[in-house]
């Protein structure tokens, strides 16, 4: 994580705390080093910008890491629903694949 990049993102956030792209970028920057803090930004997106499809994959995977499978499942499912409503089939496919892996449905032929 680049400290300068994170500082710049927080300046953008101060200027417009409702810009979903900036919130998402901050969460993504924080994810590797401060996952709890990153989740606060992902949850802000989930509650205030639910149509920002990119959030669902990352938030759900963090819920898995945090040992919160019920929240992860809800997040994957809602993300798949919204991505289909938005016509974003690429995001839908990624979410579906991640959900299938999470749910143990990603088996391979032996």
Residue 36, pLDDT above cutoff 60: yes
Residue 107, pLDDT above cutoff 80: no
- Residue 108: its pLDDT value, please? 62
Residue 110, pLDDT above cutoff 70: no
What is the enclosing helix (H) or strand (E) of 109? none
d(CA 91, CA 53): 7
Predicted confidence band of residue 106 (pLDDT cuts 50, 70, 90): confident
Tens-digit pLDDT profile for residues 8-33:
999 999 999 999 999 999 999 999 99
Secondary structure of residue 22 in the 3-state scheme: helix
Which domains are seen in the chain, by residue range? 3-102 (1.25.40.10)
């Amino acid at each position: 994580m680049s400290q300068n990049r994170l500082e710049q993102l927080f300046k953008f956030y101060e200027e417009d705390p409702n810009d979903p792209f900036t919130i998402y970028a901050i969460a993504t920057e924080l994810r590797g080093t401060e996952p709890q803090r990153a989740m606060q930004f992902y949850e802000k997106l989930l509650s205030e910008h639910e149509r920002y499809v990119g959030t669902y994959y990352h938030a759900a995977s963090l819920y898995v890491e945090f040992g919160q499978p019920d929240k992860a499942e809800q997040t994957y499912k809602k993300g798949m629903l919204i991505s289909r409503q938005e016509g974003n089939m690429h995001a839908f496919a990624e979410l579906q694949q991640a959900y299938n892996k999470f749910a143990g449905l990603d088996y391979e032929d032996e």
